[in-house]
Structure 1
Amino acid sequence: MARPIFLLSAFLLASLLAGCGGSTPPAEPVPAPTQIAAIDTPPPEYPMALACAGIGGQALLEVEVGTAGTPTRIDLVRGSGNDDLDRLAKESVQGWKFRPATRAGQPVAQTIQVPVNFTAPAVRPDACFALDAGRSPT
Structure 2
Amino acid sequence: MTFARANPALNFPAPLDAMPRRLNRRVAIVLAVLGLHVAAVWALQSGLLRRAMDMVIPVQVLTEMIELPQPVVEPAPPAPPPPVAARTPPKPKPRPIPQPQPQPVAAPEPMPLAPVVPPAPPAPVSIPEPVVAVAAPPAPPAPPAPPRIELPTSNADYLKNPPPPYPPLSKRLGEQGRVVVRIFIQADGTASRAEVKRSSGFERLDQVAVQTVLRWRYVPGKRAGVPEAMWVEAPIDFVLK
TM-score (norm 2): 0.35
- Runs of 5+ consecutive residues of structure 1 not aligned to the other structure: 1-30, 122-138
2:191 paired with 1:71? yes
Separation (CA, whole Å) in 1 of partners of 2:161 and 2:223: 23
Are the structure 2 counterparts of residues 32 and 78 from structure 1 closer, same or farther at C-alpha, using a change threshold of 3 Å? closer
1:99 counterpart SS class: coil
Partner of 1:93: 213
Are the structure 2 counterparts of residues 77 and 34 from structure 1 closer, same or farther at C-alpha, using a change threshold of 3 Å? closer
Partner of 2:151: 35
Q: What value does the CA root-mean-square deviation take over the aligned residues? A: 1.9
Which deviations, in whole Å up to 9, do the C-alpha atoms of 1:36-90 show, x marking residues without a partner? 2323432111012211221111111111111110112211111111111111100
Deviates further, 57-66 or 47-56: 47-56
Are the structure 2 counterparts of residues 32 and 57 from structure 1 closer, same or farther at C-alpha, using a change threshold of 3 Å? closer
Separation (CA, whole Å) in 1 of partners of 2:226 and 2:215: 23
Deviates further, 62-71 or 31-40: 31-40
Are the structure 2 counterparts of residues 59 and 32 from structure 1 closer, same or farther at C-alpha, using a change threshold of 3 Å? closer
* Aligned positions, number: 91
Partner of 1:82: 202
- The one of 165, 172, 194 aligned to 1:45: 165
TM-score (norm 1): 0.59
Separation (CA, whole Å) in 1 of partners of 2:148 and 2:167: 43
Separation (CA, whole Å) in 1 of partners of 2:168 and 2:197: 25
Partner of 1:127: none
The structure that is strand-richer by fraction is 1
Tell me if structure 1 keeps the 8 A contact 2:164–2:212: yes
Separation (CA, whole Å) in 2 of partners of 1:76 and 1:86: 7
1:33 positional shift: 4.9
Equivalent residue letter for 1:34:
E
Separation (CA, whole Å) in 1 of partners of 2:239 and 2:228: 34
